[in-house]
Amino acid sequence: MDAKNINTSDSAPTPVSLSVAFIYWLKLGFISFGGPAGQIAIMHHDLVEKKRWISEKRFLHALNYCMVLPGPEAQQLATYIGWLMHRTWGGIIAGGLFVLPSFFILVGLAWVSIAYGSVPAIAGLLYGIKPAVVAIVLFAAFRIGSRVLKNNVLWSISAFAFVAIFALKLPFPVIVLAAGVIGYFGGRLSPDHFNAGGGHGKADKHFGPSLIDDDTPTPDHALFSWIRLAKVAAIGVGSWLAVMAVLVASFGWQSTFTQMGWFFTRAALLTFGGAYAVLPYVYQGAVEHYQWMTPTQMIDGLALGETTPGPLIMVVTFVGFVGGWVKQIFGGDAVFASAFIAAAVATFFTFLPSFVFIFMGGPFIETTHGNLKLTAPLTAITAAVVGVIVNLALFFAYHVFWPTGLGNAVDWPSIVLAMTATVAIFRFKVGVIPVILASGVLGMGWKLLA
């Protein structure tokens, strides 16, 4: 980090207008690569260190709240800071622009993938990316597990979760509920076993006075009141009901659009532990139950989601687009329109709860200014998530290494690519995007030369 770019003057920055903030949030939407850790690091550098719109302590305070919510914490953090600075519209702009660039990029990539996926160069690119996805998902399990699995109890919960989804085929929500119950009672009986740590460190750095400093009074719009909480809840539920009512009235309850709205609402409320945690649930619904896409297309969506800015849960945009394309709701002459609207429906219902949680809970959080820590149920859920992600990695590996079935030929080039990607990520700490791009180029070369 370049120290010259960090503002450490003794005077507080001048107030920021909504238009200036709009430009920053739009820029962030295009550069927010690197997953939640990278996205949070970008915001910390820009907003805490360089621009000093918010102090380190207030930034971490907001982040710790977002960490215990279902949904993408980086997008929720942007929404929180935008709301704190410029009221509700500031939050909507910050959170919306965090995902809109990714939405349009993924729609374009999904269209290229489904319309031109048979072109040798495109097919080769996707062929090479898929083995890298296996390595990336394994690394996700390792990264979460190394942070959470601190004792035999949590290891056991992770193992039981793996068996439950791999062998018993239990739905992901059931596993989450069971882990939460175990954590609730386990935390009371043996709290030391469910204290996996958490949070993002102490707010022990100071970069000069900030617009929203440690001792800055909470603005009027962020003061807690039960009336305001009820109003936000009513608007959030009303928005959900209004859009769902339009879908039901226009297409019926069993239509693809309506079922996507209902399904992705449930998925949005299960994203504890990040996007990787909910991907098995999305797979179960999109591939097995609704048959909106094939297992191979699911892997394609995850690979493309890894290479675009925005939260990884944006893979739901890809799922919605492919499902709309396959189901052809408007007929064969308007396939793209069906796919685009399906992608918009999936994205809207996935992110609506995130905005509601921030606008409802933000005023209460502003009254505490204390550190929120992971509870025992959330620790147990996160432990279970590790086992679920390992199952996801095995699922992807099966479809990549044995593309025509377990009893048929092994795809050795894919295994070599997956091993290479694994070594690059685990041993040499190469970033996700370079690994995906390099694997895609190697896959393209292999297919064009073979």
In tens digits, the chain (450 residues) has pLDDT values of: 444 444 555 677 888 999 999 999 999 999 887 567 668 878 888 999 899 999 988 888 888 788 778 888 889 999 999 999 999 999 999 999 999 999 999 999 899 989 887 778 888 888 898 898 888 888 878 877 887 898 999 999 999 999 998 999 887 778 888 998 998 899 888 888 887 544 444 445 567 888 888 888 888 999 999 999 999 999 999 999 999 999 999 999 999 999 999 999 999 987 665 677 778 888 889 998 999 999 888 888 888 887 788 888 899 999 999 999 999 999 989 999 999 999 999 999 999 999 999 999 999 888 866 444 456 787 888 788 888 888 878 888 888 899 887 878 899 999 999 999 999 999 998 887 788 889 989 999 998 887
pLDDT at 40: 83
Report yes or no on 152 lying in a domain. yes
Angstrom distances, CA of residue 280 to CA of 98, 150, 173, 406 = 24, 24, 10, 21
Report yes or no on 210 lying in a domain. no
- Residue from 388, 2, 394 nearest 171 by CA: 388
Report yes or no on 205 lying in a domain. no
What token pair was written down for 65?
């709240």
Report yes or no on 424 lying in a domain. yes
Domain that holds residue 344: 12-198+222-449
Report yes or no on 71 lying in a domain. yes
pLDDT at 206: 66
pLDDT at 42: 84
Report yes or no on 137 lying in a domain. yes
Q: Rounded to 5 degrees, what are φ and ψ at 243?
A: -65, -40
CA distance 353 to 268: 7
- Residue from 23, 8, 6 nearest 86 by CA: 23
Report yes or no on 217 lying in a domain. no
Cα-to-chain-centroid distance, residue 41: 16
Number of domains, the chain: 1
Report yes or no on 211 lying in a domain. no
